[in-house]
Amino acid sequence: NIGDEGDQNRTWLLELFEKLGVIIHFKELAQRAVCSYAYVLNPRWLTYGIYTVMCNKQAKISAREVVLLLCKEKVADEQGNVLKYPVDKCAFILEAMRQFKLAYPLRDDPHTLVIPNLLPATEPPHRFDKTGALAFEFDFTVFLPRHLLPQLIVQRHQDIAISKDGQWVWQTGVVLANARERARALVTADYHERK
């Protein structure tokens, strides 16, 4: 019987529980129609669900394939507790992957996610002409965080250049195109050189 009004309302209680680590609350996921629930009482359930999808090593995975994978696999946490993934809760795993910027939906199939970390490492042939292009290079003195480029790819996935062979995106790079600005960009990361 906790109301929506007053100082100690539902929002206050959710924020308090989240700060205490009792729950993880995803406000953004609650607002999406696919997830009418947005509470995770066991963070391992979410972590191991995402980990199971990522360890499948499939760069493009459909919602149906995620359901089959999570329902088929015996997923257990580090303490041996078996984690169950009912069919109706698998959409939450997919939405969390999008929210954490681990994956993005395909333009022509929003029910299929692309996981940049699992894309081929080889740069595909593309028609980006570096001649006369404005270039920026960032040197990371200690290390180049491995999540930096995949998160950029997820954030800018709607701008990924498309060819007749597919999208120009791979583990360590992407070609972006903005039709309104008539601009293109080639973004690459060299983790060995830290650039």
Distance CA 134, CA 131 (A): 9
Residue 33: predicted pLDDT: 45
Residue 36: predicted pLDDT: 52
Residue 162: predicted pLDDT: 81
- Is pLDDT above 80 for 38? no
* Buried/exposed code over 24-48 (b: 16+ C-beta within 10 A; e: otherwise): bbbeebeeeeebeebebeeebbbeb
In this prediction the pTM is 0.77
Residue 68: predicted pLDDT: 93
- Is pLDDT above 80 for 22? no
pLDDT band at 50 (very low <50, low <70, confident <90, very high): very high
Over residues 155-174, the mean pLDDT reads 86
Distance CA 50, CA 92 (A): 10
pLDDT tens for 104-124 read 999 888 899 999 999 998 888
Q: How distant, in Å, are the alpha carbons of 7, 13, 52 from that of 3? A: 10, 10, 38
Distance CA 26, CA 38 (A): 5
Name the average pLDDT for the chain. 85
Greater confidence, 89 or 172?
172
Residue 161: predicted pLDDT: 87
pLDDT band at 152 (very low <50, low <70, confident <90, very high): very high
